[in-house]
Structure 1
Amino acid sequence: MTVSDAPIAPLAASFVLAPVVALAAFMEVLDLSIANVALQNIAGELGASADEATWILTSYLATNAIVLPMSGWLATVLGRKRYYVGCILGFGASSLLCGLAPSLAILVLSRALQGLIGGGLQPVSQAILADSFPPARRGMAFAFYGMAVVVAPAIGPTLGGWITDNFDWRWVFLINVPVSIALSLLIGQLIKDPPHLIAERLRLSASGVRIDYVGFALLALGFGFLQIVLDRGQQQDWFASHFILAAALLSAFGLISFVVWELRSEYPIVDLRLLANRNFALSNALMFMLGFVLLGSTAALPQFTQRLLGYTAMEAGMVISPGGLALILVMPLVGRMTGRIDARLMIAFGLAVAAWSLYHMSRFDFSVDYWSIADARVVQAVGLGFLFIPITTLAYVGLPPEKSNSASALINVSRNIGGSIGISFLTTMLQRHVQAHQTALVAHVTPENPTYRALAAGLQEHFMEAGSSGQSALHQAQATIADTVAKQALTLSFLDNFLLLAVIFASLIPFVFLMRPESGAQS
């Protein structure tokens, strides 16, 4: 008897099934960020510009975003086990193509294929765990999954930098090949489609599988162009660019039309009607904000250390690594607490702790040391550890088992899109705030300001003592002050972003209690 044949997964088997399934999701989520730090090396070897190299990331994100919401439908129609194993093997094969790519064009196409095939790994992994474990033991199962999808983006840049520095950028992709082969063999032995999914697939086969071509086209149009807008908007000054404006309009048209079409369709590829369940709708909103803050802060903190404190890419990655370790330690504890403590209280506690840590980050200055930053990240990680599992657990309460594939697809879409929007939004706010702060600071840097005169005179004297002429020393003093102003403006902008994230998380706490508690949740 396989693990999923049993109505309740045996305790011993849970320590095999959950980690293996989580590892498949980990592999796919890791590739969202592992290639980021290797772009310069890739561009140099393949003769591409830095801007062209970013399509290596955009192509993966765009196709991943397209297939993610429809993965539940694909798993139902094709058979979940068949689709899942196919995704794992296909991901490995496309990773091999990426690692062997002789040109940028082939690498971009291979990355698009990798994102398209791998898009089903996250939601199907979560659906397997939801079906294989009873509600009382889902917490521990989701702990493994949570560690995978939350820790992977945090360690991706560090791992990618280490591989690139010590081996070759191609191994960033080739490392997936042996892992995918091993996982496919293990998954083939561990899981089996549950009876309700087999019955649903037979029913669809008997009545004739109807492919919603219109829904698929609108989904591809909406999510594909949305990801391009989010990924490249800031580089091209958002709507000042005709390309970004056109992409945004096409995305809006596709997504709005998709929602209308799917709600009217008899055989939708994405079951949006699940959002009529209050708990599920609120869980998706909270998961969206979790992705927004998690990935937004994960991208911002290394930038802060590199641009202002002079850290290397590896050192910047090491700043957030202790947070990943904290998540690994906290999530099993939260998994054991789930079902014993009101999940809403756990979510509220997690939001409060994470908000406090982000507020603490907003008090950083030039003198902040490594451990102060790492400690703040650890506290944030502890708070985040109290969010993922309770939110996911409450999302499934009240939903029929046959909807687990569709539910997993939607909740993973919410987290991923939230992360993409968070990174894009914070990047834009950083640039806008830098301009505003610099304008405000420059207004005080005038000869009429006695503080400025004293500072300029002191610096000029310092440079003259070092051997510069009077005029040259004056220019050096002015350049030093201008550099300090620019650095201060950038610092204030980063701190603004950390404070904004803290306020967002704190403001979500009252909405948590609109959810029904686990024991009383209904559709």
Structure 2
Amino acid sequence: MGATANPADSAAGDHNPWIIAVVVAIATFMEVLDTTIANVALRYISGGLAVGPDEAAWVVTSYLVANAIVLTASSFLAKRYGRKAFFMAAITLFTVSSILCGFAWSLESLLFFRVLQGLGGGGMAPLAQSILADSFPPEKRGQAFALYGIAIVVAPVIGPTLGGWLSDQYSWHWCFLINAPVGAVALFLIWWLVQDPKSAVEERKRLRREGVRFDIVGFILVATFLGSLEVVLDEGQRKDWFGSNLIVVFACLTVLSFVAMIPWELNHKNPVVDLRLLAKRQFGSCFLVMLATGAILIATTQFLPQLLQDYFGYTATWAGLALSPGGLVTCVMMFVIGRVSGYVQPKYLIATGATIIAFAMYELTNLYGDLNFGFFVWSRVYIGLGLPMIFLSITAASYEGITKDQTDQASALINVARNVGGSMGVSLAQNILAYRQQFHTSRLVEHVVPSEPAYQESLRTATQFFATRGASTVDAQNQAIAWIGRQVQTQSAFLAYIDVFWALAIVSACAVPLAMILKNVKRGGEAPVGGH
């Protein structure tokens, strides 16, 4: 039942490798689930912790940034200190921090625990693929990665609906507490079933013997750059940008850490980030496309539920359900594109996927107050059609021209691009929403003045309506004025969301020319299903 002739060369040891595949899929499912489960609960979180929606968005971005930061280090740390030990440490940190998130008493505590959760989750992602690769012989790895891919694509489907249902029926805290039993089971099974293959043990001994050390300076510079950039993007609009000393300080940290990172990483023998990869046309273009894709995926997963709950009266459960059909389409398309990619060059699939997503964003600009549930479902379905074309094709395109010793770095950087792009997408959308809502409100109120005939007619009609409901003349007029004010706020919000979707459409459209400059790659089989 083993994966190879010699159990010592397998991560499964004497155990059935399919059991290992299931265990790894469970751990991966739990981690990927947390990228979307909290999105529909942000309204409950902001209410429960008495913070604004823009501050609650840090719950999403802090996780993504922490996840991206540790991705750059996880491959080396796993080789240096043992894959099994590092994987167990990552699961433990993820599970414990999930419990702490569930018991968070303030936004600051929740963000701190969410960062820890992201650090644990980022350590799990690349190791899961390595464990699978070492548990199965080459001829069976495709089937194993298919199971792994199902866990990856199903988790975002379930996440919004599950998060909405838990928030509506119980509390937003359960979006995090639900990880506790799953994490405990996964930790026990990894301890019991997984072992470090002989080759990995030899690699660890070699690194120790040669005194190869972790690039701690490079890691600190990367973490400082990404963390400071996120503070600037998330807090800039609320703090009046460079009118705030806080933003100035973090902007300086962003620039200084970035400038210092380039020569350090280029001249370090074992860099935490291989910047030479990003300088290659093929890989650099794939990195930028994944940045854009991550921005659209995460931003829409957050802002569509927010829009539906705030202005269409949806519960968190129904807001989550509006996203789920698109996720189901993504599941199906993963397998379809896996077949098609054997016959079509990745650059054409990426360009097609980006075009479809740009069209989906354009559709969302047709926003008004009487839209039904089906409109939002279909907008997400279009996104679900386009995303697999990009995700699977980038895997094939990004490895073109990459040497074997660079594959770990390439995999980590593509995942970093998705998470950093997602975080930047949320920040971009949040800033556009806040700024444009202020702009549209100021323009609309120019017409809400007593001298305007349209305002007079609206006030008269609304006053009559409230008077027929039993209000006195004075109360009816006051209620009519308040109602007009709410209509102005609602309309300015719709116009601001339209601006957000226009911006995301432009971001997606920019990925098309980037895709078309990619080189042709050698085709010879199906693309891997999934990839985290």
Q: TM-score range by the shorter chain?
A: 0.7 to 0.9
How far apart are 1:98 and its partner, in Å? 4.8
> Secondary structure, in 3 states, of the residue corresponding to 2:339?
helix
User: 1:306 touches 1:312 (CA, 8 Å); kept in 2?
Assistant: yes
Task: State the match for 1:351 in structure 2.
Answer: 354
Distance 1:424 1:57 in 2: 10
| Structure 1 position 92 matched with structure 2 position 88 | no
| Structure 1 position 517 matched with structure 2 position 520 | yes
Q: Deviations over 1:12-61 (max 9, x none)?
A: x997766654443332233344345667877999xx65379887667645
The residue correspondences of 1:54-93 to structure 2 (distance < 5 A) are 60-61=63-64, 63-93=66-96
Query: Which of the residues 233, 251, 275 maps onto 1:248?
Result: 251
Residues 382, 128 of structure 1: alpha-carbon distance in 2 compared, 3 angstrom cutoff: farther
Distance 1:255 1:343 in 2: 31
Task: State the match for 1:339 in structure 2.
Answer: 342
Q: Which runs of 5+ in 2 are unaligned?
A: 525-532
Distance 1:98 1:145 in 2: 27
> Secondary structure, in 3 states, of the residue corresponding to 1:518?
coil
Residues 435, 135 of structure 1: alpha-carbon distance in 2 compared, 3 angstrom cutoff: farther
Q: AA paired with 1:486?
A: Q
User: 1:76 touches 1:201 (CA, 8 Å); kept in 2?
Assistant: yes
Higher mean C-alpha deviation, range 424-433 or range 300-309: 300-309
Task: State the match for 2:326 in structure 1.
Answer: 323
| Structure 1 position 492 matched with structure 2 position 495 | yes
User: 1:75 touches 1:405 (CA, 8 Å); kept in 2?
Assistant: no
Distance 2:196 2:132 in 1: 12
Q: Which runs of 5+ in 1 are unaligned?
A: none
Q: AA paired with 1:378?
A: V
Q: Deviations over 1:200-247 (max 9, x none)?
A: 544422211223332232223222333334444444444443223322
Q: Deviations over 1:462-501 (max 9, x none)?
A: 3344444444444433332222122111111111211222
Residues 56, 506 of structure 1: alpha-carbon distance in 2 compared, 3 angstrom cutoff: closer
How far apart are 1:424 and its partner, in Å? 0.7
> Secondary structure, in 3 states, of the residue corresponding to 1:173?
helix
Distance 2:295 2:441 in 1: 27
Q: AA paired with 2:493?
A: L
Distance 1:101 1:482 in 2: 36
User: 1:140 touches 1:332 (CA, 8 Å); kept in 2?
Assistant: no
Q: Return the TM-score normalized by structure 2.
A: 0.83
Q: AA paired with 1:256?
A: V
Distance 1:272 1:298 in 2: 30
Q: AA paired with 1:396?
A: Y
> Secondary structure, in 3 states, of the residue corresponding to 2:522?
helix
Distance 1:43 1:87 in 2: 28
Distance 2:112 2:472 in 1: 57
Task: State the match for 1:380 in structure 2.
Answer: 383
How far apart are 1:166 and its partner, in Å? 3.9
Q: AA paired with 1:493?
A: A
Distance 2:447 2:309 in 1: 27
Task: State the match for 1:273 in structure 2.
Answer: 276
Distance 2:140 2:513 in 1: 27
Task: State the match for 2:306 in structure 1.
Answer: 303
User: 1:94 touches 1:113 (CA, 8 Å); kept in 2?
Assistant: yes
User: 2:343 touches 2:523 (CA, 8 Å); kept in 1?
Assistant: no
Q: Deviations over 1:372-418 (max 9, x none)?
A: 21122112111112211111222123323333322221111111010
Q: AA paired with 1:411?
A: I
Distance 1:483 1:56 in 2: 28
Task: State the match for 1:365 in structure 2.
Answer: 368
Distance 1:476 1:164 in 2: 32
Residues 58, 505 of structure 1: alpha-carbon distance in 2 compared, 3 angstrom cutoff: closer
Q: Return the TM-score normalized by structure 1.
A: 0.84
Query: Which of the residues 457, 461, 464 maps onto 2:464?
Result: 461
| Structure 1 position 451 matched with structure 2 position 478 | no
Residues 471, 105 of structure 1: alpha-carbon distance in 2 compared, 3 angstrom cutoff: closer
How far apart are 1:451 and its partner, in Å? 3.0
Q: AA paired with 2:67?
A: N
Q: Deviations over 1:337-356 (max 9, x none)?
A: 22232222211221122111
Q: AA paired with 2:305?
A: P
CA RMSD of aligned residues (A): 3.8
Higher mean C-alpha deviation, range 120-129 or range 130-139: 130-139
User: 1:302 touches 1:317 (CA, 8 Å); kept in 2?
Assistant: yes
How far apart are 1:292 and its partner, in Å? 0.5
Query: Which of the residues 90, 95, 119 maps onto 2:122?
Result: 119
User: 1:283 touches 1:391 (CA, 8 Å); kept in 2?
Assistant: yes
How far apart are 1:107 and its partner, in Å? 6.1
User: 1:39 touches 1:50 (CA, 8 Å); kept in 2?
Assistant: no
> Secondary structure, in 3 states, of the residue corresponding to 1:310?
coil
Distance 1:133 1:440 in 2: 63
| Structure 1 position 503 matched with structure 2 position 506 | yes
Distance 2:437 2:45 in 1: 30
Q: How many residues are aligned here?
A: 515
Distance 1:19 1:334 in 2: 24
Q: Deviations over 1:152-187 (max 9, x none)?
A: 456434323423444555543343233234434655
User: 2:163 touches 2:317 (CA, 8 Å); kept in 1?
Assistant: no
Q: Deviations over 1:353-375 (max 9, x none)?
A: 21112211111211110112112
| Structure 1 position 406 matched with structure 2 position 409 | yes
Identity over the aligned pairs, expressed in percent?
Answer: 42
Distance 1:501 1:134 in 2: 42
> Secondary structure, in 3 states, of the residue corresponding to 2:72?
coil
User: 2:74 touches 2:123 (CA, 8 Å); kept in 1?
Assistant: yes
Distance 1:43 1:494 in 2: 20
Residues 134, 413 of structure 1: alpha-carbon distance in 2 compared, 3 angstrom cutoff: farther
User: 2:134 touches 2:197 (CA, 8 Å); kept in 1?
Assistant: no
User: 2:40 touches 2:319 (CA, 8 Å); kept in 1?
Assistant: no
Task: State the match for 2:528 in structure 1.
Answer: none
Q: AA paired with 2:121?
A: G
User: 2:3 touches 2:136 (CA, 8 Å); kept in 1?
Assistant: no
Task: State the match for 2:315 in structure 1.
Answer: 312
Distance 2:131 2:396 in 1: 14
How far apart are 1:453 and its partner, in Å? 3.0
Query: Which of the residues 154, 159, 163 maps onto 1:156?
Result: 159
Task: State the match for 2:210 in structure 1.
Answer: 207
Residues 28, 244 of structure 1: alpha-carbon distance in 2 compared, 3 angstrom cutoff: farther
